[in-house]
Amino acid sequence: MITKTDCCTIKSEDIEDAVVLEGSPGGGLIGNIIGWLLVEDLKMKEIGYIESKYFPPLAVLYKGVALHPFRIYEAEGLVLFLSDFIVPPNVVYDMTSSIVDWMDRNNSKELITFNSMVVREKSQATAAAGNSEDSTKRLEDMGLPILPFGNINGLSGTLLTQCASKDIPASCLFAEILNPYPDPRAAAGVVDTLNTMLDISIDPDPLLQEAQEIESRLKKLAETVQNEPESPIYM
């Protein structure tokens, strides 16, 4: 089935009654990291893609095969919209409208999107926001802290408001990050929350192992820098 607007085209199989997940790059690459973990863990099948003349000219290599940079996957009642680039702002509104139209046509149960927030010190694995009082109450009942104020950037915020216009429940799960660099450990915390939210069992261990490898490399780099002789200072 094709869903088309002036800026983009969704070419995808129709999957009814699914929970829709959205993962795209942002601070800490949280959505993208979680998306790829889901693809691997659930052995998700690619069912379509989004294309646009406004997208950057690139393809994504996966096991030697060139893929569209914004793909759609499906497995076990979940549909994943996964982007490997930051969608240009001038495309976001029309593209999210197309995604929500696709969801409305397929009677999707809800949308869950992933994002991040930069903090000085981490205090919890995941925070959340919803697109209605009912959505927010569900998150509160899970024990998640709700963000009371602020802006939601990227695709997440527009998807939440567009879903609200179609009376589709939607939530955003935020990982706490200390800087904008890839943070697999923070993504693993969001995966734990997602498991509870949907009663599924995605294994976050690969992300924790990746985080340990990154932290080990950074520690060795720091030790190398500390052991290097100081450069002379010239006046």
How many residues in total does the chain contain? 235
pLDDT greater at residue 103 or residue 148: 103
| Domains of the chain with CATH codes | 2-224 (3.40.50.10900)
Contact 87, 24 (CB under 8 A): yes
Q: What is the pLDDT of residues 92-128, one digit of tens each?
A: 999 999 999 999 999 999 999 999 998 888 887 799 9
Cα–Cα distance for residue pair 49/71, rounded to 1 Å: 4
pLDDT at 219: 65
Tokens standing for residue 88: 């240009």
Contact 99, 82 (CB under 8 A): no
pLDDT at 231: 46
Whether the per-residue pLDDT at 215 is higher than 70: the answer is no
Closest CA to 187 of 33, 21, 9: 33
With cut-offs at 50, 70 and 90, classify the pLDDT of residue 51. very high
Cα–Cα distance for residue pair 175/191, rounded to 1 Å: 10
pLDDT at 224: 63
Q: What is the average pLDDT across 134-160? A: 92
Q: Output phi, psi for 109, to 5 deg.
A: -75, -40
Contact 176, 186 (CB under 8 A): yes
pLDDT at 235: 46
Residue owning tokens 């010190």: 121
Whether the per-residue pLDDT at 177 is higher than 70: the answer is yes
Tokens standing for residue 42: 């659930």
pTM of the model: 0.89
Contact 209, 215 (CB under 8 A): no
Cα–Cα distance for residue pair 6/15, rounded to 1 Å: 24
What is the identity of the amino acid at 174? F
Contact 98, 52 (CB under 8 A): no
Closest CA to 152 of 26, 60, 68: 26
pLDDT greater at residue 11 or residue 216: 11
Q: Which residues, including other chains, have CB under 8 Å from residue 86's CB and lie 6 or more apart?
A: 24, 25, 26, 154
Percent of the chain with pLDDT over 70: 90
Lowest average pLDDT, out of 141-145, 152-156, 225-229, goes to 225-229
